[in-house]
């Protein structure tokens, strides 16, 4: 019998009763004869509460200390889950990310996993223990400091453990029954997908479908590890994330499968416009180089046609809201050198994305998407596309209407409501 890796998210371990329920689920797997390794998130909204505490004492907490603080959340739940398992008569050992051998780079707050050296996990398994690992954290090989993997990072911990342990199964337990055609919190008619390819899931995660952490999907794809996303509150089969859109098998299946996998939305971005940039070679490079050096990820970019009379242009781009202030001060420091006129900041925006492998072979998808948005009275800001995705920036207040309109226009609405949200605050 092989190793089963499971991950339980914050809403699945939100209080003592939930932790006991999860402990029972874990021991069922052990009873069935498998070795079990579990990655846990912090309880409920603990991570947000810790962030609020940090902001209460400092508007810009040092990144190292923030990681020390946030990793405490997962240490609490790992120990409690291990205790609840012991109470059921099984032996469990909890480990921090560092003890579990999760080795990362040294970027606090969004560290990448470089390697997993699971020696301690393997000996604990050999001794018959159920292993509980604190998710979302690791240790930098370079600086020896404790790091975190970015919000939602416990998903990535689970997949990295599954890869390192050559596990048979990697299950991500959450508060909905799987990956749906849209966030069930805003589209009650969303449908559960039985299967979704890595590429489509990557686009969905990158476009705000926080049911899976983006890095977790990247990791799973690279190591070819299928992920089973399911609910810890029901016994239903969830969604299997596996396979590539390039697979011959998938292409055959996709003849009948829907063109669109789903609609994702994201309210975590902001837009910055650099007004009056001199239209000469190298200016855009200078702007984006300074943002890259500040470790800021840019999403969409639009550059206006330069006004002939002035030879000046505007460059707009979107970025994580959390990086908004850093980006504004980084750019302000560049103003004299580049000679742009001013900076505008807008965080009342949202992004709505349509994702589906079938888009590659079906014309007219963009027209249908834009018509649906127009009929819903939604004005489009920026637009960007990939081979299997179309994204638009809209006013933040229009996001729900835009998602619902696109969902209906592409016949994704379920006949009978099947989307249940079992827990979580959606925060």
Residues contributing to the site for ligand ADP (CB under 6 A): 9-12, 41, 152, 174-176, 179-180, 182-185, 209-211, 262, 421, 424, 426
CA dihedral 320, 324, 329, 333 (to 10 degrees): 50
> What is the rounded distance in angstroms from the CA atom of residue 138 to the CA atom of residue 104?
6
CB closer to ligand ASP out of 154 and 353? 154
CA distances 21 to 72, 84, 211, 426, Å, are 22, 9, 21, 21
Q: Residues 147, 106: contact at Cβ < 8 Å?
A: yes
CB closer to ligand ADP out of 9 and 101? 9
**Taking CB within 5 to 8 Å according to partner kind, which of ligand ASP, ligand ADP, Mg ion, none is near residue 156?**
none
- Rounded to the nearest whole angstrom, what is the least distance from the CB of residue 10 to ligand ASP in the complex? 5
Stretch that binds ligand ASP, among 29-37, 93-101, 103-111, 146-154 (CB under 6 A): 146-154
DSSP code string of 279-290: -STTHHHHHHHH
Task: Name which position in 3, 12, 73, 146 contacts ligand ASP (CB under 6 A).
Answer: 73
CB-nearest residue to Mg ion: 152
Task: Name which position in 8, 136, 173, 180 contacts ligand ASP (CB under 6 A).
Answer: 136
DSSP code string of 397-418: GGHHHHHHHHHHHTT---SS--
Task: Name which position in 129, 151, 230, 265 contacts ligand ASP (CB under 6 A).
Answer: 151
Q: 152-171: which residues touch Mg ion (CB under 5 A)? A: 152
- Cα 265 to its chain centre, rounded Å, is 12
Task: Name which position in 11, 12, 104, 154 contacts ligand ASP (CB under 6 A).
Answer: 154
Does 44 sit near ligand ASP (CB under 6 A)? no
- Rounded to the nearest whole angstrom, what is the least distance from the CB of residue 192 to Mg ion in the complex? 17
Q: Which two tokens stand for residue 114?
A: 């470089």
Q: Residues 243, 249: contact at Cβ < 8 Å?
A: yes
> What is the rounded distance in angstroms from the CA atom of residue 287 to the CA atom of residue 328?
11
Residues making contact with ligand ASP (CB under 6 A) = 9-10, 41-42, 47, 73, 135-136, 151-154
């Amino acid at each position: 019998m092989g190793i089963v890796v499971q991950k339980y998210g914050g809403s699945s371990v939100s209080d003592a009763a939930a932790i006991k329920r999860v402990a029972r689920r874990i021991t069922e797997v052990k009873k069935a004869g498998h070795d079990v390794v579990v990655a846990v998130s912090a309880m409920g909204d603990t991570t947000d509460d810790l962030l609020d505490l940090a902001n209460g004492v400092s508007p810009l907490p040092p990144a190292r200390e923030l990681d020390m603080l946030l990793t405490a959340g997962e240490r609490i739940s790992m120990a409690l889950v291990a205790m609840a398992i012991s109470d059921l008569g099984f032996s469990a050992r909890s480990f921090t990310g560092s003890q579990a051998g999760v080795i990362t780079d040294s970027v606090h707050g969004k560290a990448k996993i470089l390697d997993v050296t699971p020696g301690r996990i393997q000996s604990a398994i050999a001794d018959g223990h159920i292993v509980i690992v604190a998710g979302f954290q690791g240790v930098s090989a370079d600086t020896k400091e404790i790091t975190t993997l970015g919000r939602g990072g416990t998903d990535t911990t689970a997949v990295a453990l599954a890869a390192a342990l050559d596990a048979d199964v990697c299950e991500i337990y959450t508060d909905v029954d799987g990956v749906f055609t849209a966030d069930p919190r805003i589209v009650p008619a969303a449908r559960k997908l039985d299967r979704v390819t890595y590429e489509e899931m990557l686009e969905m995660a990158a476009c705000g479908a926080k049911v899976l952490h983006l890095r977790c999907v990247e990791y799973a794809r690279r190591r070819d590890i299928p992920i089973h996303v399911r609910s810890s509150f029901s016994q239903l089969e969830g969604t299997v994330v596996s396979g590539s859109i390039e697979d011959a098998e998938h292409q055959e299946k996709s003849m009948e499968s829907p063109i669109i996998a789903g609609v994702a939305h994201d309210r975590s971005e902001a837009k910055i416009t650099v007004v009056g940039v001199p239209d000469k070679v190298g200016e855009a490079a200078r702007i984006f180089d300074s943002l890259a050096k500040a470790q800021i990820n840019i999403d969409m970019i639009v550059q206006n046609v330069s006004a002939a009379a002035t030879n000046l242009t505007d460059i707009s781009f979107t970025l994580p809201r959390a990086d908004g202030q850093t980006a504004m001060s980084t750019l302000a420091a560049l103003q004299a050198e580049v000679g742009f006129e001013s900076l505008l900041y807008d965080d009342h925006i949202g992004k709505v994305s349509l994702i589906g492998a079938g888009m590659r072979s079906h014309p007219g998808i963009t027209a249908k998407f834009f018509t649906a948005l127009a009929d819903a009275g939604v004005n489009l800001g920026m637009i960007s596309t990939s081979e299997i995705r179309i994204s638009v920036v809209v006013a933040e207040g229009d996001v729900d209407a835009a998602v619902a309109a696109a969902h209906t226009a592409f016949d994704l609405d379920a006949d009978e409501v099947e989307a249940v949200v079992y827990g979580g605050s959606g925060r």
